[in-house]
Amino acid sequence: MKIKKNLLALLLGSSALLLAGTLGAQELPVEEAAEVVEAVADAIPFEDGYAAFMESPGAAFFTISNLWLLLSAALVFIMHLGFATVESGLSQSKNTVNILFKNVFIISMGLLTYAFWGFNAMYPDGAWAIDGFFAMGSWFDLEPSVAKMTAEYADYTWYTDFIFQGMFAATAATIVSGAVAERVKLTSFMIFATILVAFIYPITGSWQWGGGWLAERGFYDFAGSSLVHAFGGFAALACVLVLGPRAGKYVNGQIRPILGHSMPLATIGVFLLFLGWFGFNGGSVLNADPFLVSLVFVTTALAAAGGAMGAIFTSWIFLKKPDLSMALNGILAGLVGITAGADAISPACSILVGLIAGILVVFSIIFFDKIKIDDPVGAISVHGVCGVFGTLAVAIFGDAAGFGIQLIGTLSVGAFAFVLSFAVFGLLKVVMGVRVSPEEEAEGLDIGEHGQEAYPDFSGARTR
């Protein structure tokens, strides 16, 4: 029976090709011929066509590539654990539960909204509402078809595509979470994060990865230095400007350090992010090509190492001490910096990209502190500033795109994220407020927002 089904699938597929050839000979437009082929292919029962494909010579590479992308999605998921750990470690202990709760909400909300709207809005497959700029979203799921679940679609299935990109989608809101930590009202943040992930992020993502206007002009962003990181960094900047600094951060013109409660947690978080980044960048190859995947692993690792070295020695020189938090942010800066060109920049140049990003992040953090923009975890500098630099580095250290279009692309993404985030968060401030009361901020958001403590057995949890 299985052989008969496979033969049926093969015959139907061959008929489709012959029909397409005949129609083509009669000068039928290519688009119409393709529609005929697709219509005939859709007539094949999914089980038959899928089984026939899985016995074909190309099935092995397809299977390995699909498996690699699923593994990469799992590694990107680990990055959310890393973000939660870094943010909680660099915040005061009295706000730990709040930080962890926001990260739980972000990944859960992100996957659901991406399923119901974002995925199809970001990858419209030509179905634009405004050509090259905006597409309507819809529920991502569909009846399984050979066209979506075999190499006819890509080197992975439609479902694998969704879960990998869905893990990316929530990252932008996680970046904002760290920047507004310790004083943002929970309900306001939840509403903002939902709008950001569900509606704003898919628009800029579609400009490049969905075949929109940036893609048409030759912009290059391999894994998201601009589309994910600069986007999140500029959204974070907008929210911080609306929200204002933490109480006691800037007193009488002086900068008062508000230290995080656990450098071990922050360090573990950065290493989890480092691990997850191999999936973030390595998975963006979108197949199991041995050369490209291994190249991306190497450039990613070397850039992170370069970023650490750049930040360590820069902070040592200017702050007079080797600062661990700067070293950790240097690793992240190098990772963000290489993300746009991990497949297009040589290993030697990737070290330079990381080194420059590590130096930039130190000066950027100091600069934002001096102009009284309070960012507890350095998210604006790591993701915003280094995301822009990483996008430009594609043109400086590689040849995948020109400097002009890279500059236009990264500024367009950043400006769009900033303006819409400022508008949405500003509206929330007017309608319902975005900041907790001074009393709640002093007591800590764990008690005020959640009625829980992260460390109930330690008296310091109430006072830090």
Residue pLDDT, tens place only, 175-196: 999 999 999 999 999 999 999 9
Span 290-337, pLDDT tens digits: 999 999 999 999 999 999 999 999 999 999 999 999 999 999 999 999
Residues 6+ apart with CB under 8 A from 22: none
pTM of the entire structure?
0.88
* Per-residue model confidence (pLDDT) at position 150: 76
Quick count: other Cβ atoms within 10 Å of Cβ 416?
17
* Per-residue model confidence (pLDDT) at position 44: 65
How far apart (Å, rounded) are the C-alpha atoms in residues 53 and 145?
12
Mean pLDDT over 211-233 rounds to 97
Residue entry with tokens 């399923």: 115
Span 34-45, pLDDT tens digits: 454 455 455 567
Is the pLDDT at 19 greater than 80? The verdict is: no
How far apart (Å, rounded) are the C-alpha atoms in residues 451 and 449?
6
Is the pLDDT at 69 greater than 80? The verdict is: yes
| Count of all residues that appear for the chain in the document | 464
CA dihedral sign of residues 18, 20, 21, 22:
positive
Is the pLDDT at 33 greater than 50? The verdict is: no
* In contact, 183 and 246? CB cutoff 8 Å: yes
Question: Which tokens sit at 355?
Answer: 């080194």
* Per-residue model confidence (pLDDT) at position 16: 44
**Averaged pLDDT score across all residues of the chain:** 89
Mean pLDDT over 226-235 rounds to 98
* Per-residue model confidence (pLDDT) at position 224: 96
* Per-residue model confidence (pLDDT) at position 241: 98
Helices (H), strands (E): how many in the chain?
A: 23, 2
DSSP H stretches of helix in 196-323? 201-208, 213-216, 231-243, 263-282, 290-319
Quick count: other Cβ atoms within 10 Å of Cβ 216?
12
Question: Among 7-21, 57-71, 169-183, 260-274, whose mean pLDDT is lowest?
Answer: 7-21
Question: Which tokens sit at 366?
Answer: 């100091």
> H or E segment at 251?
strand 250-251
Give whole-number Cα distances, 303 to 79, 277, 360, in Å. 18, 11, 14
Span 50-67, pLDDT tens digits: 788 777 888 899 999 999
How far apart (Å, rounded) are the C-alpha atoms in residues 107 and 112?
9
CA dihedral sign of residues 135, 191, 177, 101:
negative
Determine the residue type at 373: I
